[in-house]
Copies of this chain bind each other. A is one copy, B any other.
Amino acid sequence: MKVIRTIDEMRAHSAGERGAGRRIAFVPTMGALHDGHISLMREGKGRAETLIASIYVNPAQFGPGEDLERYPRSLEEDLAKCEGVGADAVFVPDDGMIYPDGFTTGVRVGGLTERLCGASRPGHFDGVTTVVAKLFNIVRPDIAVFGEKDYQQLVVIRRMVADLDMPVEIVGAPTVREADGLAMSSRNDYLSPDQREAATSLYRSLNVAQKTIDAGETDPATIMGRVRETIEKGGIMKIDYAELVSPDTLEGLSEFRRPSLIALAAYAGETRLIDNRFFG
């Protein structure tokens, strides 16, 4: 497995793969890899002849006061995990090459990025779309895999790719969970034992929503009331948002229908966790 540390070397590697007729799957990550990331890489590997991952903690997608400094970094373990899953190359750029002096361009998806996490984290998705556009232009993958756990990010990236005619197929891969249902996240490392226990209420609340919907309930206020109740019961989690939305526009629904999405964000102490369920 190649560890690639410059843009030129990354371009050359990709060009070589393409020239040899191999389709490239790409999985961009911020490192601190867990089984969720590994499943994205397996998905990529199953769909293309070569797998490229990237590890880059993108400062542009962190807001002031967010956890950029303490975001977990574990490059050696991350590289071992990439090698374990059979990645062919891992791109590890640094800030100076991604945002050199004079950098001033942004890619922005309107509308979608102002809702849900976008409302709580202004500028976050602009940072995501800009760095993903850059990485796509450097790696030039045929397909790129993103987790459904970050559902809004997946929708925003699909929109960017469609709107800018980027020649990349975007694949969404299912959320990977701990044994007790907590969605895997690099930020789970921040949780104290009490918070870790309380955090499972996100998953449980989605199961409560599922049961309520399966029983025929269609009123969003009722469905989301039970979701909120389940999360708030332990007294530890503070809800940022809990919404029933259209999975395409991310706009709130006045009545449950299919497809729809329940999207949640809540704080355990300082740690912000998200989860969602798709009803197709």
Contact = CB atoms under 8 A, between A and B. Distances in A.
Interface of A: 7, 11, 102-112, 129-130, 133-134, 137-138, 140, 159-160, 163-167
Given A105-B107, A105-B160, A134-B165, 9 more contacts: A7-B165, A104-B109, A104-B163, A105-B159, A106-B107, A108-B108, A130-B164, A137-B164, A140-B167
A164 B105 CA distance: 7
Q: How many copies does the complex hold?
A: 2
Contacts of A110: 104-106
Nearest to A167: B137
Chain A binding site: helix, strand, loop or mixed by DSSP?
mixed
B164 A104 contact: no
Contacts of A137: 164-167
Q: Sort A-B residue pairs by CB-CB distance and give the 6 closest, nearest first.
A: A105-B163, A104-B110, A137-B165, A105-B109, A134-B165, A138-B165
A8 to B, nearest CB: 11
A138 B166 CA distance: 7
